[in-house]
A = this chain, B = another copy of it.
């Protein structure tokens, strides 16, 4: 565990600044340099549809895992991009956890981005690295785009579903079954939980990345059975070991780097496009295309 005390105030200010930073500010940020010098926190994503009980699960998991490491939780709240405000906050339920010395919890609205994440999630996690966290958990909501955006940012992705809810069908349609490293059927005391776990196992065997050497576990969890959360925690450890031993974490880190630059350049592109008049778009498509690429080249 990190020996330097956690400076919560400095961390809070850093995250607030980064959450609202534009591309130039991100590029200029100290955090980048510091993160590269230091170690990288292990990253766990917890995602799933609204109402699946992710917040409580993350809370319990955080209690377990913060016992012997410095743990950060970044919870991305669903919010309306136009209103900008979070509709649901998990802050209250998590309040009772905030006094554990080595646990830091912060939630963010998803603001302008259309994928349900903050624009600067990669930078927020990098800042956690620089504050000496051993592990960062990222909680996101929604079956669909959020998973695509969070997948390259985390090492282990946990997909939380409810029994009998059509969640599996939706996750299959959204192509998420292949992305998850660990499946959780939460609120397992509800009817249909065991059947659903069996269904997921069957689908995961057909479509999963078992070929790469990792058999996606399917776990039943319930807040009423603390040992079920401990089992989830153990499964995360096993996946962490698997990534290290198989060398697959290197490929993940490569993908992560590409994704980070991609997001930044896409934001630059949006700026370029916003500066164009309607008359620009009357030119043939090929000319428009070349002009936009040329303008991006001038922005180096």
- Chain A interface (Cβ < 8 Å from any Cβ of B): 26-28, 32-33, 36, 50-51, 78-83, 87-88, 114-116, 141-142, 144-145, 148, 166, 169-170, 172-175, 177-178, 207, 250, 253-254, 257-258, 260-262, 264-266, 268-270, 273-274, 276, 278, 281, 284-286, 288-294, 296-300
Contact = CB atoms under 8 A, between A and B. Distances in A.
Contact of A174 (B116, B169, B278, B284): B116
Nearest to A260: B285
B116 A144 contact: yes
Given A80-B207, A289-B264, A33 B284 contact: yes
Contacts of A265: 269, 289, 292-293, 296
A153 to B, nearest CB: 14
B284 A87 contact: no
A251 B249 CA distance: 46
A17 B99 CA distance: 60
A36 B279 CA distance: 14
Contact of A172 (B80, B173, B254, B260): B80
Given A266-B269, A289-B27, A296-B297, A81 B175 contact: yes
Contact of A262 (B148, B269, B297): B269
A115 B297 contact: no
Contacts of A81: 175
Contacts of A300: 290-291, 293-294, 297
